[in-house]
């Protein structure tokens, strides 16, 4: 089993107030955990700290009781807006294959069509792009996914398709998921338990 442990994490942006204060919790790879909290409380900041995007934090993040090594991060963050983290000059094939080469079955599971590979990020819809973004993060070396509002901007049908594909592949590969969302119904439906950000912070 893989365990991601967050211990005594505190963080502030530059000289601002301390936004994250002494946060402790852990995720196991066989669980889907929800994170719910007020807007602006610091959930996305915590996600970025957990996945290595923000470094000047206090405390420890360990995977199976060891610090996370440099190189490919086994804790992968998926953002709400995939277009912001994709190179607009790369086609989708290059963007996906920079991480790994999924086989046809996985592409089919995610509803990714072959003809999309030649297109650039600006030539796909938000839902189509998010499928690539999720699949890119599911590199075989990934142990945990941090999903920060990943389907907020999509319609209900696309949300269901995306979550069904993601939960299936995560379960098959024993990848743990932290789901950040304001949608309590979604969290109730897909998670094993829900953590309240206010209970963690401070
Ligand atoms: N790069 C930054 N520099 C300074 N302050 C920032 C930066 N990024 C975010 N903040 C501030 O940190 C606070 C927490 O933001 P964060 O995005 O982590 O909240 P959140 O809980 O994810 O909010 P939401 O639910 O609305 O997405 C906000 O007040 C925000 O303005």
Residues 18-47 pLDDT 10s: 999 999 999 999 899 999 999 999 999 999
Residue 74 has pLDDT above 80, yes or no: yes
Residue 46 is part of a domain; what is its CATH number? 3.40.50.300
* Number of structural domains in the chain: 1
Q: How far is the CA of 50 from the centre of ligand 1 (A)?
A: 15
Q: Which atom of ligand 1 is nearest to the CA of 149?
A: 27
**Nearest protein Cα to ligand 1, atom 1:** 13
> What's the chain look like in SS3?
CCEEEEEEEEECCCCCCCCEEEEEEEEECCCEEEEECCCCCCHHHHHHHHCCCCCCCEEEEEECCEECCCCCCCEEEECCCHHHHCCCCCCHHHHHHCCCCCCHHHHHHCCCCHHHHHCCHHHCCHHHHHHHHHHHHCCCCCCEEEEECCCCCCCHHHHHHHHHHHHHHHHHCCCEEEEECCCHHHHHHHCCEEEEHHHHCC
44 ligand 1 Cβ < 6 A: yes
Residues 92-111 pLDDT 10s: 999 999 999 999 999 998 89
42 ligand 1 Cβ < 6 A: yes
Q: Which of 126, 133, 143, 185 is nearest to 51 (CA)?
A: 143
Q: Choose which residue among 42, 79, 80, 152 to substitute to test ligand 1 binding: the one with the highest number of ligand atoms within 8 A of its C-beta.
A: 42
Residue 147 has pLDDT above 90, yes or no: yes
Q: How far is the CA of 40 from the centre of ligand 1 (A)?
A: 5
Look at residue 178 in the predicted model and tell me its pLDDT.
98
The verdict on ipTM greater than 0.85 is yes
**Nearest protein Cα to ligand 1, atom 18:** 42
Look at residue 16 in the predicted model and tell me its pLDDT.
80
Domain boundaries, position 119: 1-198
Spatial distance between the Cα atoms of 39 and 175, rounded to a whole number of angstroms = 27
Least confident of 11-20, 58-67, 116-125: 11-20
β-pair type (32-36, 75-78): unpaired
């Amino acid at each position: 089993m893989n365990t991601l442990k967050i211990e005594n994490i505190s963080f502030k942006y530059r000289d601002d107030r301390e936004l994250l204060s002494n946060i402790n919790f852990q995720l196991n790879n066989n669980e889907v955990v929800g994170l719910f909290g007020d807007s602006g409380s610091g959930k996305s900041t915590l996600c970025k700290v957990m996945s290595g995007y923000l470094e000047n934090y206090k405390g420890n993040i360990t995977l199976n009781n060891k610090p996370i090594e440099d190189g490919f991060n086994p804790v992968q963050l998926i953002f709400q807006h995939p277009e912001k983290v994709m190179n607009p000059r790369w086609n989708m094939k290059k963007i996906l294959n920079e991480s790994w080469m999924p086989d046809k079955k996985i592409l089919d599971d995610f509803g990714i069509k072959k003809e999309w590979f030649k297109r650039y990020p600006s030539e796909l819809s938000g839902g189509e792009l998010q499928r690539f973004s999720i699949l890119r993060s599911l590199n075989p070396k990934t142990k945990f996914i941090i999903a920060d509002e990943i389907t907020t901007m999509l319609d209900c049908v696309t949300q269901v398709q995306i979550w069904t594909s993601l939960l299936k592949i995560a379960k098959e590969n024993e990848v743990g998921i932290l789901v950040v969302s304001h949608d309590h119904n979604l969290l109730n439906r897909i998670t094993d338990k829900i953590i309240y950000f206010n209970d963690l912070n401070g």
